[in-house]
Structure 1
Amino acid sequence: MFTGSIPHALGSLRFLERLHLGANNLKGESSIQELSFLTSLTNCKRLRILYLSFNPLIGILPISIGNLSTSLQLFGASTCKLKGNIPTEIGNLSNLYQLSLNNNDLTGTIPPSIGQLQKLQGLYLPANKLQGSIPNDICQLRNLVELYLANNQLSGSIPACLGELAFLRHLYLGSNKLNSTIPLTLWSLNDILSLDMSSNFLVGYLPSDMGNLKVLVKIDLSRNQLSGEIPSNIGGLLDLTSLSLAHNRLEGPILHSFSNLKSLEFMDLSDNALSGEIPKSLEGLVYLKYLNMSFNRLYGEIPTEGPFANFSAESFMMNKALCGSPRLKLPPCRTVTRWSTTISWLLLKYILPTIASTLLLLALIFVWTRCRKRNAVLPTQAESLPLATWRRISYQEIFQAANGFSGGNLLGRGSFGSVYRGTLSDGKDVAIKVFNMQEEAAFKSFDAECEVMRHIRHRNLIKIISSCSNSYIDFKALVLEYVPNGSLEKWLYSHNYCLDILQRLNIMIDVALAMEYLHHSCSTPIVHCDLKPSNILLDEDFGGHVGDFGIAKLLGEEESMRKTQTLATIGYMAPEYGSNGIVTTRGDVYSYGIVLMETFTRRRPTDEIFSEEMSMKNWVRDSLCGSVTEVVDANLLRGEDEQFMAKKQCISSVLGLAVDCVADSHEERINMKDVVTTLKKINLTYLASSY
């Protein structure tokens, strides 16, 4: 419970070997200044262990840290609210075997001088704000056992030379911005125990060499852009207890070799494009406690024995055609016995002549029926699916989950109701959208959102978990996926938050992918009609998700536009929508262009600087002919920035694309497919020129 500052007088203890001050309430001398007490400790020439972790030091590591004792073996300053860069001089601590600076606010890059710490066995830098690439110099740490760099803003490629670190047992690179393929050399780390590269932008295939990691216990490659099939020799990872490949683009079957993973306790294969049946041999995974195969293209019967007896509907929801137990809220599987087959053969043998004689009559009836219904629209497979077959949630459970709809759980209010955070009985965090039944339009909004939600499934759209409609108390609500980082609007206009240029670009790529899916990949094209920053929500990795389909429209067969009297938000609606009520997919493109401008200028389209003479789109268009620096958010572009030209070119390209989206005539606007293609090219160009 010690408080106050760390006294400089400790430096007079010249024979001091170990200094443990962790887990107190000690602070630096003054806010966000160099921690000068570290300079005084340079007098302690025998110091081997310096442990300061879990104190609110709130300061900057001084360059004098390089003058600490060359005998120093452990330096721990995790969770100390450290600011600034990691000093290059830290490379002077040649006998260091553990360096812990995790859970701070360190910025800048990882200094190449880290490679001078030849005896280092543990390097812990996760949960900071480090940028740039992972330096190849880390590969000089031949004794490294644990490398933790997760939860930073590191970008570029994974150094292939990491595969040369023969003693490496734990490698954590998750929740960064790494955007390369996984180096093949990493699969040669035969003694590695845990490997986490989740929540990046990694691409490519999983090689067969993955089966070389015979002692691997945990692997997490989720939330990337990996493609291809899962290699068959994954079954050779006999010690594996945790496997997560979720949220990728993997395809092909779930292999029978998975049944060899006898130690497996956790397996998540959700949100891919896996197909085929679930192997019955997986019933032998007796230690499996968690399984998620949802959002794939699986079909056939779900196994019932072993661990499958304990899994719920959430493990298998949103697949192609699975069948199984009624408790999974799936249709029963058809069974065919030898006796029924024999009976069917006998019946066919005797009734075949009758069938042949009536074929002509049946054909005539079929033709007459088709003619009578030639104007009817047949429901698609997606339309025939029930809204929420995987879970029923009562009003009472919703009421308890949202703590009685208390103000402390309120996330925000909209035109047709309020949104609350809640926790269901199984511990799942959700967002609960409660419709205001005093508003007549809320009835239509609820029905519209239910109708749209049942047609769509995409990683960048807010997922619906269930709905609740209780006529006795006049209550309607949607239970939605909870997205922890709130809305894009919050991050743009709050003084406490700031998104960098790459985060904004990636968010708008996610939104473009969602809109492309709605316009071009659904069996019935969907127009959102109200795209704006408050309807774009950000997940824990700052991925963008589009929500609020309260006034969305489905364009039926042979329907390219529709008229409506429902108005969208002023400033974001296309001219033809506001004047004539004409709804087309190009109206969404216009709204997207306005949001794109707003994201990079940090100006609302209804800002007081705009008027009839100078609208946002004209303001941005004029800047492209002059100086784009006059309109861009000042947080993104500063003259002293080393990457000034790369950032300026990137933002100019983005705003040029936004101008193409907001043409006055909807025929002249580009479509969302072209938007996605252009944004991805801008992103790659920026990354190439920045690093």
Structure 2
Amino acid sequence: MGENKLRGPILLKLFNSSTVRLISFAENDLSGELPSTIGAFLPNLEGLYLGGNEFTGTILTSISNASRLRMLHLGMNHFTGAIPHSLGNLRLLEQFAIWKNDFSEDSLSKELSFIISLTNCKHLRRLWIDENPLNGFLPKSIGNLSSSLESFHAGSCGIKNEIPSSIGNLSNLVELFFENNSLTGLIPTTIKWFLKLQRIDLSDNQILGAIPSEFCNLLNLGELRLGQNMFSGMVPSCLGNVTTLRYVYLNSTNLSSMIPTSFWSLKYILELDMSGNYLTGSLPAEIGNFKALVYLNLSNNQYLGRIPSTIGALQDLQELSLERNKLQGLIPDSMKNMLQLRHLDLSFNNLEGEIPNSLQVLPDLQYFNVSYNRLRGPIPHGGPFANFTNLSFLSNEALCGAPWLQPCASKFEHESRTKRIVMIVLLTSGSVILALVISIFLIRSKLRKKILAPTQNLLPMATFERVSFHELRQITNGFNESNLLGSGSFGSVYKGICENGMVWAIKVFDLQLEGAFKSFDRECEVLSCLRHRNLTRVITACSSLDFKALALEYMPNGSLEKWLHVNHHVLSIRQRLGIMIDVASGLEYLHYGYSTPIAHCDLKPSNILLDEDMVGHICDFGIAKLLGDEESVIQTKTLATFGYIAPEYGLEGLISTSSDVYSFGIILMETFTKRKPKDEMFTEELNLRRWIQECSPDSVIQVIDADLLHPEDKMVQRKIECISSILQLSLSCTTDAPEERTNMKEVLRALQKIKLQFIKDITP
């Protein structure tokens, strides 16, 4: 009956037959609680397939009575209860798949003891227990599982402690997935016996030590995923001998030094991610050997030198990320040959010269970012460049030609040799005269400073353009109320339209308010140092004793608060999730991406602004705190907005990055419930967090924003599951104890995974 989309509670009589050998209701919309005695009626059952439904109940104990059972597939349901030791009675069991349920481990020792019982199943080939809240550690006798075991999936189970060395006894393993757990310690060297292993995923754990060279013995290995761990040292040079490698993910693993030369000989590799490490050196010309490569991410490292022209040989490459390195020189013209390229990020480097016009021929380029480099000259306007906004080109030396930049100067014909000589002489003479004039001016300025009234001065920030009070007054129509965008704690924000058509958000500080001077200085200090696509960018500043203002990047779609509570438009689940990922990305940068951790201290929906593409940007750093290397927690007398501040902040004035995590968790709740933390429905006994906690997970539909769910929507259940997982994450962000809160790195990864799963669920 597979894929018939049957609905409603299943008829129990269908299971009440002693002659049935195979039952399959996989991938239907069946629901209801299956009887806990189901196995007693099926003594001859050999295969039971119930995956992909909405079944509930505790049926595993009973199923262990079906002694002839070979195939058991219960994945993607809502079964609960402990995994019983009686499963060891299924001596003929070959496949045991219970992934994505709510099974648990009730052992007091927290050892996953049911695995020990499965050692009696000598024919077991497939063991899939991932995405169940097991929250225990692997038994040391794990190596006594069937020598026939080929596939072992135990990702996202809350598994803790080390991987036992006895796992090396499972010498017939073809795939081993332990991703997204809390594994610690070292990878056991006994992995060298996995001679048939083709796929291994240990990513997103806390595994220590060096990447063991024993991986080099696995000459059938095609997929190696070790990212987001706590490794140290270098990439083993012998990995270049594993010519079967196709997918290598060593991202965010604290690797240092250079990628060994031998690694570049893996010419059949398809995906390579070594981002977020401390890799140094230059990109070698041999990078062009990866001719089958479709995904390459070397961002957030310490690479120097030029991008080799041989990179143009990667004609199948679809995504290239080299941002946040120290790359220099020109963007290679040879990139025009990468006709499959969809994503190109070269931002936050030291690249020079012009953007090659030849890149206009790339037909599928959808994302392009060269912000924060030293590029000059005209921005290409044909092909995919017609769709890129100013966000792709921020903060370069002298780019021009786009609608939001000044027009490019005309190119004159080359002067004659004589004219050039004359020009050099004139320039040299002019420089001397100019230096004298400046010296005289500086001396006179110092003498006049004591008697002249203070005038507008530019803050000493090299990246700011020059602006005066009179210019700001002119472009805001005299700070007219019709240009008012909103008001904050320390002043008002006005819309200003410059002569070149650029639109600014002018934040004028009310200097009569206590703390306004300090707030201005703090925003300047923070915003002048930070560069991230999800933080508002300061364009210029104007400062005098009686006037202080910042000109910020204008966000045409206003604040998240307006979209949630004022606008009549409804943000979709995907839009809300995208905005929250944007905010999480910005916070992760504040907490981990800058030399000094920064706590925003006043995160709330009105401080999250949306640009023309609905990308979220964190703003208002007026009370942000820079935490020293030895100051993970500091004390302040400045209070933020009640309802969003963490308990330790409100009661004791204690600030840390965990305080931001708490605020973010509250915003997550508000975004998907459309309830403010100070909503009139809440009392001293019931707050926003407690309301969600009491309704989760069984009655979570009661708290979800009604605009997001429509009964006739075929995907309504998938949407409920998605939002439920988001709200569960928000609860882990808002625990009373700061040390128990999830950090922003983990929050960002969790949201990205939720989004990926949601897209898969709703895509036909």
Give the TM-score band, short-chain normalised: 0.5 to 0.7
Question: 2: CA distance between counterparts of 1:162 and 1:396?
Answer: 64
Offset at 1:464?
3.9
Query: Is contact 1:487–1:535 with CA below 8 Å preserved after alignment?
Result: no
User: What TM-score does the superposition give when structure 1 sets the normalisation length?
Assistant: 0.59
Question: 1: CA distance between counterparts of 2:304 and 2:438?
Answer: 45
Q: Confirm whether residue 444 of structure 1 aligns to residue 513 of structure 2.
A: no
Question: 2: CA distance between counterparts of 1:292 and 1:280?
Answer: 15
Aligned position for 1:157:
234
For residues 442-464 of structure 1, give each alpha carbon's deviation from its aligned partner in whole angstroms, at most 9, with x where no partner exists. 4434543565567x456699954
Task: Report SS of the residue matched to 2:182.
Answer: coil
Offset at 1:114?
1.1
Aligned position for 1:2:
79
Among candidates 330, 339, 342, match of residue 405 of structure 2: 330
Offset at 1:175?
1.2
Offset at 1:153?
1.1
Aligned position for 1:83:
160
Aligned position for 1:563:
none
Instruction: Report how many aligned residue pairs link the two structures.
Output: 473
Change (3 A) 1:361 1:308: closer
Question: 2: CA distance between counterparts of 1:65 and 1:361?
Answer: 81
Offset at 1:232?
1.3
Offset at 1:311?
0.6
Q: Confirm whether residue 299 of structure 1 aligns to residue 376 of structure 2.
A: yes
Task: Report SS of the residue matched to 2:149.
Answer: coil
Aligned position for 1:60:
137
The runs of 5 or more residues in structure 1 that have no matched partner are: 406-414, 419-431, 492-502, 512-530, 538-546, 553-568, 570-590, 607-691
Query: Is contact 1:448–1:551 with CA below 8 Å preserved after alignment?
Result: no
Aligned position for 1:200:
277
Change (3 A) 1:71 1:363: closer
Offset at 1:274?
0.7
Offset at 1:176?
1.4
Task: Report SS of the residue matched to 2:368.
Answer: strand
Task: Report SS of the residue matched to 1:72.
Answer: coil
Aligned position for 2:62:
none
Among candidates 115, 125, 138, match of residue 38 of structure 1: 115
Aligned position for 1:135:
212
Offset at 1:487?
9.2
Question: 1: CA distance between counterparts of 2:204 and 2:117?
Answer: 28
- The 5 A counterparts of 1:498-513 are 510-511=595-596
Aligned position for 1:636:
none
Offset at 1:258?
1.1
Q: Confirm whether residue 179 of structure 1 aligns to residue 251 of structure 2.
A: no
Query: Is contact 2:136–2:160 with CA below 8 Å preserved after alignment?
Result: yes
Aligned position for 2:178:
101
Tell me the amino acid that sits aligned with residue 256 of structure 1.
D
Tell me the amino acid that sits aligned with residue 307 of structure 1.
P
Change (3 A) 1:163 1:31: farther
The runs of 5 or more residues in structure 2 that have no matched partner are: 1-77, 447-456, 493-504, 542-547, 556-581, 604-618, 638-764
Among candidates 199, 205, 209, match of residue 286 of structure 2: 209
Query: Is contact 2:274–2:298 with CA below 8 Å preserved after alignment?
Result: yes
Aligned position for 2:558:
none
Question: 2: CA distance between counterparts of 1:399 and 1:283?
Answer: 37
Question: 1: CA distance between counterparts of 2:329 and 2:271?
Answer: 25
Question: 2: CA distance between counterparts of 1:90 and 1:385?
Answer: 62
Offset at 1:23?
1.4
Question: 1: CA distance between counterparts of 2:430 and 2:206?
Answer: 75
Change (3 A) 1:548 1:46: same
Offset at 1:137?
0.7
Percent sequence identity is 40
Change (3 A) 1:604 1:460: farther
Tell me the amino acid that sits aligned with residue 111 of structure 2.
E
Question: 2: CA distance between counterparts of 1:173 and 1:218?
Answer: 13
Task: Report SS of the residue matched to 1:375.
Answer: helix
Among candidates 266, 272, 287, match of residue 189 of structure 1: 266
Among candidates 169, 190, 198, match of residue 246 of structure 2: 169
Offset at 1:13?
1.3
Offset at 1:6?
1.2
Offset at 1:376?
4.3
For residues 387-443 of structure 1, give each alpha carbon's deviation from its aligned partner in whole angstroms, at most 9, with x where no partner exists. 8x9xx999999999xxx99xxxxxxxxx9699xxxxxxxxxxxxx999995962444
Query: Is contact 1:31–1:58 with CA below 8 Å preserved after alignment?
Result: no
Aligned position for 2:465:
385
Offset at 1:124?
0.7
Query: Is contact 2:519–2:623 with CA below 8 Å preserved after alignment?
Result: no
Offset at 1:207?
0.8
Q: Confirm whether residue 119 of structure 1 aligns to residue 192 of structure 2.
A: no
Query: Is contact 1:8–1:40 with CA below 8 Å preserved after alignment?
Result: yes
User: What TM-score does the superposition give when structure 2 sets the normalisation length?
Assistant: 0.54
Question: 2: CA distance between counterparts of 1:453 and 1:230?
Answer: 31
Aligned position for 2:303:
226
Change (3 A) 1:156 1:292: same
Offset at 1:194?
0.5
Offset at 1:335?
1.9
Change (3 A) 1:399 1:183: farther
Aligned-pair Cα RMSD in Å: 4.8
Q: Confirm whether residue 375 of structure 1 aligns to residue 461 of structure 2.
A: no
Task: Report SS of the residue matched to 1:79.
Answer: coil
Query: Is contact 1:44–1:69 with CA below 8 Å preserved after alignment?
Result: yes
Tell me the amino acid that sits aligned with residue 333 of structure 1.
C
Query: Is contact 2:299–2:322 with CA below 8 Å preserved after alignment?
Result: yes
Question: 1: CA distance between counterparts of 2:349 and 2:437?
Answer: 43
For residues 656-680 of structure 1, give each alpha carbon's deviation from its aligned partner in whole angstroms, at most 9, with x where no partner exists. xxxxxxxxxxxxxxxxxxxxxxxxx
Tell me the amino acid that sits aligned with residue 331 of structure 1.
Q
Change (3 A) 1:308 1:278: same
Change (3 A) 1:386 1:4: farther
Aligned position for 1:658:
none
Query: Is contact 2:490–2:513 with CA below 8 Å preserved after alignment?
Result: no
Aligned position for 1:497:
none
Tell me the amino acid that sits aligned with residue 410 of structure 2.
T
For residues 603-639 of structure 1, give each alpha carbon's deviation from its aligned partner in whole angstroms, at most 9, with x where no partner exists. 9799xxxxxxxxxxxxxxxxxxxxxxxxxxxxxxxxx
Question: 2: CA distance between counterparts of 1:361 and 1:137?
Answer: 68
Aligned position for 1:16:
93
For residues 490-523 of structure 1, give each alpha carbon's deviation from its aligned partner in whole angstroms, at most 9, with x where no partner exists. x9xxxxxxxxxxx9xx98xx23xxxxxxxxxxxx
Question: 2: CA distance between counterparts of 1:81 and 1:361?
Answer: 71
Offset at 1:152?
1.1
For residues 282-328 of structure 1, give each alpha carbon's deviation from its aligned partner in whole angstroms, at most 9, with x where no partner exists. 111111000010000111111111111111101111011111122xx
Change (3 A) 1:536 1:183: farther
Question: 2: CA distance between counterparts of 1:361 and 1:45?
Answer: 90
Offset at 1:276?
0.8
Tell me the amino acid that sits aligned with residue 521 of structure 2.
A
Among candidates 71, 80, 103, match of residue 26 of structure 1: 103
Change (3 A) 1:398 1:9: farther
Aligned position for 1:412:
none
Aligned position for 1:465:
537
Query: Is contact 2:465–2:539 with CA below 8 Å preserved after alignment?
Result: no
Tell me the amino acid that sits aligned with residue 332 of structure 1.
P
Change (3 A) 1:313 1:77: same
Task: Report SS of the residue matched to 2:281.
Answer: strand
For residues 524-580 of structure 1, give each alpha carbon's deviation from its aligned partner in whole angstroms, at most 9, with x where no partner exists. xxxxxxx9877899xxxxxxxxx998699xxxxxxxxxxxxxxxx9xxxxxxxxxxx
Task: Report SS of the residue matched to 1:278.
Answer: coil
Change (3 A) 1:207 1:16: same
Question: 2: CA distance between counterparts of 1:370 and 1:126?
Answer: 61
Task: Report SS of the residue matched to 2:537.
Answer: strand
Among candidates 228, 248, 261, match of residue 325 of structure 2: 248
Tell me the amino acid that sits aligned with residue 444 of structure 1.
F
For residues 578-610 of structure 1, give each alpha carbon's deviation from its aligned partner in whole angstroms, at most 9, with x where no partner exists. xxxxxxxxxxxxx98xx44445xx79799xxxx
Change (3 A) 1:31 1:315: farther
